[in-house]
């Protein structure tokens, strides 16, 4: 029996963020474990029923997670570090301790899932790691679905990808220890009656060494050797599989899912691969990462190219639908015409079913889809010819500043900051009162004047708190901002914001990526009044806070009808206008955050040069044309910085703050080796954990930083913004940060 039409995964946070709310209530002690698990059970059941009723031939299971699929896999095979398992907590609380940390056990590292905005938790493995199949989650969820009368296909992170994404000196050395546990799991699934299992190997969308390809060969020859197993589907996504295609084609797996959206040319390589004739190919022609409606004729042409290449060709998504919102039908404020151009997860499932019928030669009405594609292509009003003229007139001097040494001297003369200046990344906790005021304003219960008064009161409270704490460079706290990208998108032409378009970023953290559908411009200043008000409250410098062009693209659903670099430069011009207006308003430090610089880096090295060219150019366009004495900061988080250090250097920011706590300052090795010679603020306080670091812990990290970065270029800051934390954690943590800073300053003399 073939798999037929299917998807590779589905959103799991809940259409109304039910899981988010249950998680946060559980962590706050307001519900018990049974209530949390019941929320998950209900969400899984609804998902399976919806996918069955939509007409999919095969339905995935084990795509649900209380936090993250990589953490689930580590727990499944008994590979959580002993600092968590020795705490004596329940299994669920041990799991959450690894995800979030507790006072005496810092959390696992967190980083981006390939080039997406989803964050995964990085398993910690070493030579002493032993694997034991201790978990039953894939079996439990299969049984749940079967009890509802629904047969499912359990989905697992593949063994090679799991090891390649783990932390350790030589994680692939553990492959021979891990594979028997996968074999045992497959045997148990077979005994349970499972017909198909899906093993995800997206790591092979990136460049891989000979040793890594050999690991893939060993893994799938061993896993398929066992006769008492389900049929195996291997899913490769986020790009073409490169040489991994041949490895998997020649292995005895039963089916292969390929991404034909990220790189459309990959279809020709798949079609030319002669070793697929005994397998089922799942053609990933429906985009799992963007929200535009699928062009049915282009999709069918790609899928049809594979007919004759394999025993069976079916239709699927390019990757899991985890990366898109649930249902565009729930959006009531989107322009009706724009809405017809969009497909969220529910609509993408319908597209898969319809395209599958068409590919099989069955009746399938594609007229509405064709009409929407044609209408979008004909929408000439999306072009802003003033913006395009500005781009055409750009010259090299528009992206250049004076040499750093000259700027640094001018900035120190203007700012007169002490050694190791302390600051925060930007946002402060969004209190219940702030959220209530925003909700009341949105609902019309609070007028503009009342809302502004409430936000100004919060800004003043945050400024006074920072002065009392003793921070050197202040922020206004961003109480008026719902999100670091959405806030700007709501004020820029060319963007649309959703009401229910939530997407999971990590754990209970959800974002609503805006939709960039047309040419971008800035009708009016967006942040100047708030920054100017905050600066008027204090003699200390207050940073203006902006989001950079690359991150605005990375955390939006971006138009796919022009090169990404062109869109980035349009956004950069809008940010440039804001930077200049902030400077004119007396703001002496402007932070332009680019946490997604590494995130958008193409997985193949052959595409890096082109990406860096437009990404760096966009940032420099946004931050140039200002006085030497105006200091430009940027911020980055949860990335492998060594891979993008030349680009970070090329951004030419005066100060770069970087996540460093969970990796225990490992980034400093990259900075030192790369000769990074500008200001840097390696984070000394992990804000994604509820634990409060003491002054001794922070001073230890600072001493380590001083050993790698000259003190006159070193800043002290948390890893990221404080929006998601509470003041009960933030105030003592920042007090300890300031205490540690003063202590290390004294030691330095």
**Active-site residues: which are they?**
688
Residues 656 and 665 sit within 8 Å (Cβ to Cβ): no
- Residue 457 CA to residue 522 CA, distance in Å, equals 27
Residues 521 and 494 sit within 8 Å (Cβ to Cβ): yes
Burial class from Cβ neighbours inside 10 Å (0-12, 13-18, 19+) for residue 742 reads middle
Alpha carbon separation from 467 to 329, 462, 513, 597 (Å, rounded): 47, 9, 34, 32
The pairing of beta strand 515-521 with beta strand 493-496? antiparallel
The pairing of beta strand 119-121 with beta strand 110-112? antiparallel
The pairing of beta strand 196-200 with beta strand 153-157? parallel
User: In what side-by-side order are the strands of the sheet with 153-157?
Assistant: 60-61, 153-157, 196-200, 231-235, 255-259, 280-286, 312-317
Residues 703 and 714 sit within 8 Å (Cβ to Cβ): no
- Residue 123 CA to residue 293 CA, distance in Å, equals 36
Three-state DSSP class for residue 124 = strand
Instruction: Using the CB atoms, write b or e for 611-628: b if 16+ within 10 Å.
Output: bbebbbbbbbbbbbbbeb
Q: What is the largest CA-CA distance in the chain?
A: 80
Residues 166 and 203 sit within 8 Å (Cβ to Cβ): no
Burial class from Cβ neighbours inside 10 Å (0-12, 13-18, 19+) for residue 745 reads middle
Residues 164, 62, 238: CA angle, nearest 5 degrees: 45
Alpha carbon separation from 649 to 545, 732, 744 (Å, rounded): 21, 34, 27
Question: Up-side HSE of residue 24: CA atoms within 13 Å toward CB?
Answer: 13
- Residue 533 CA to residue 531 CA, distance in Å, equals 5
* E strand residue ranges, 203-311: 231-235, 255-259, 280-286
Nearest to 319 by CA among 183, 161, 187, 186: 161
Can you list the alpha helix ranges (DSSP code H) found in 644-717? 645-651, 667-673, 695-706
Residues 628 and 406 sit within 8 Å (Cβ to Cβ): yes
- Residue 489 CA to residue 547 CA, distance in Å, equals 10
The angle, 0 to 180 degrees and rounded to 10, between the axes of the packed helices 91-100 and 69-76 is 130
Burial class from Cβ neighbours inside 10 Å (0-12, 13-18, 19+) for residue 507 reads buried
Alpha carbon separation from 486 to 52, 329, 475, 495, 611 (Å, rounded): 34, 20, 19, 9, 24
DSSP string, 411-464: HHHHH-PPSS-B---SB----HHHHHHHHHHHTTSS-HHHHHHHHHHHHHHHHH
- Residue 99 CA to residue 507 CA, distance in Å, equals 8
Please name the residues in contact with 301: beta carbons below 8 A apart, sequence gap of 6 or more: none
């Amino acid at each position: 029996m073939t798999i037929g039409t299917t998807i590779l995964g589905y959103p799991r946070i809940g259409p109304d963020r039910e899981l988010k709310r249950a998680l946060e209530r559980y962590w706050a002690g307001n519900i018990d474990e049974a209530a949390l698990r019941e929320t998950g059970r209900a969400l899984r059941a609804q998902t399976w029923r919806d996918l069955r009723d939509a007409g999919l031939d095969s339905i995935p299971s084990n795509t649900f997670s209380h936090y993250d699929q990589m953490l689930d896999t580590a727990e499944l095979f008994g590979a959580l570090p002993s600092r968590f398992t020795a705490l004596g907590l329940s299994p669920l609380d041990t799991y959450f301790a690894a995800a979030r940390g507790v006072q005496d056990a810092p959390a696992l590292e967190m980083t981006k899932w390939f080039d997406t905005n989803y964050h995964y938790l990085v398993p910690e493995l070493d030579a002493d790691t032993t694997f034991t199949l201790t978990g039953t989650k894939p079996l439990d969820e299969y049984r749940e679905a079967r009890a509802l009368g629904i047969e499912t296909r359990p989905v697992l992170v593949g063994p090679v990808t799991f090891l390649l994404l783990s932390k350790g000196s030589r994680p692939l050395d553990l492959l021979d220890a891990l594979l028997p546990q996968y074999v045992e799991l497959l045997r148990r699934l077979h005994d349970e009656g499972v017909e198909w299992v899906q093993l995800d190997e997206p790591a092979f969308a990136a460049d891989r060494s000979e040793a890594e390809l050999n690991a893939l060969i060993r893994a799938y020859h061993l896993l398929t050797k066992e006769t008492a197993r389900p049929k195996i589907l291997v899913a490769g996504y986020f790009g073409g599989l490169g040489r991994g295609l041949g490895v998997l084609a020649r292995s005895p797996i039963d089916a292969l899912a390929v991404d034909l959206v990220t790189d459309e040319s990959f279809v020709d390589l798949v079609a030319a691969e002669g070793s697929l004739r005994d397998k089922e190919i799942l053609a990933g022609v429906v985009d799992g990462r963007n929200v535009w409606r699928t062009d049915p004729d282009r999709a069918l042409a790609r899928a049809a190219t594979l007919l004759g290449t394999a025993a069976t060709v079916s239709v699927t998504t390019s990757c899991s639908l985890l990366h898109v919102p649930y249902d565009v039908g729930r959006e009531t404020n989107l322009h009706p015409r724009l809405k017809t151009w969009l497909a969220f997860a529910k609509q993408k499932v319908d597209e898969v079913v319809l395209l599958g019928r068409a590919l099989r030669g069955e009746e399938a009405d594609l007229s509405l889809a064709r009409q929407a594609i044609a209408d979008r292509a004909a929408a000439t009003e999306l072009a802003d010819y003033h913006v395009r003229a500005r781009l055409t007139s750009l010259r090299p001097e528009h992206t250049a500043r004076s040499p750093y040494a000259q700027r640094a001297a001018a900035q120190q003369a203007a700012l007169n900051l002490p050694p190791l200046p302390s600051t925060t990344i930007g946002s402060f906790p969004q209190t219940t009162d702030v959220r209530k005021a925003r909700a009341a304003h949105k609902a019309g219960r609070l007028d503009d004047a009342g809302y502004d008064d409430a936000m100004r009161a919060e800004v003043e409270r945050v400024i006074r708190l920072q002065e009392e704490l003793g921070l050197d460079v202040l922020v206004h706290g961003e109480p008026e901002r719902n999100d670091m990208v959405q806030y700007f998108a709501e004020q820029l032409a060319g963007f649309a914001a959703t009401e229910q378009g939530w997407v999971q970023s990590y754990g209970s953290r959800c974002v609503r990526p805006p939709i960039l559908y047309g040419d971008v411009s800035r009708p009016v200043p967006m942040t100047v009044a708030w920054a100017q008000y905050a600066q008027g409250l204090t003699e200390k410098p207050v940073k203006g806070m902006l989001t950079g062009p690359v991150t605005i693209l990375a955390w939006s659903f971006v138009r796919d009808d022009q090169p990404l670099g062109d869109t980035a430069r349009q956004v950069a011009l809008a940010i440039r206008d804001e930077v200049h207006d902030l400077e004119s308003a007396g703001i002496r430090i402007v932070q332009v955050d680019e946490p997604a610089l590494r995130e958008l880096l193409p997985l193949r090295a052959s595409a890096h040069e082109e990406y860096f060219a437009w990404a760096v150019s966009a940032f420099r366009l946004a931050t140039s044309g200002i006085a030497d004495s105006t200091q430009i900061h940027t911020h980055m988080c949860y990335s492998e910085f060594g891979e993008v250090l030349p680009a970070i250097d090329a951004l030419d920011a005066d100060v770069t703050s970087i996540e460093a706590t969970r990796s225990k300052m490992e980034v400093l090795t990259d900075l030192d080796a790369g000769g990074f010679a500008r200001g840097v603020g390696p984070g000394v306080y992990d804000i994604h954990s509820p634990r409060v670091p003491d002054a001794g812990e922070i001073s230890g990290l600072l001493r380590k930083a001083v050993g790698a970065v000259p003190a006159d270029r070193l800043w002290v800051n948390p890893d990221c913004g404080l929006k998601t934390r509470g003041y009960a954690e933030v105030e003592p943590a920042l007090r300890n940060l300031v205490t540690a800073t003063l202590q290390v300053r004294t030691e330095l003399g």
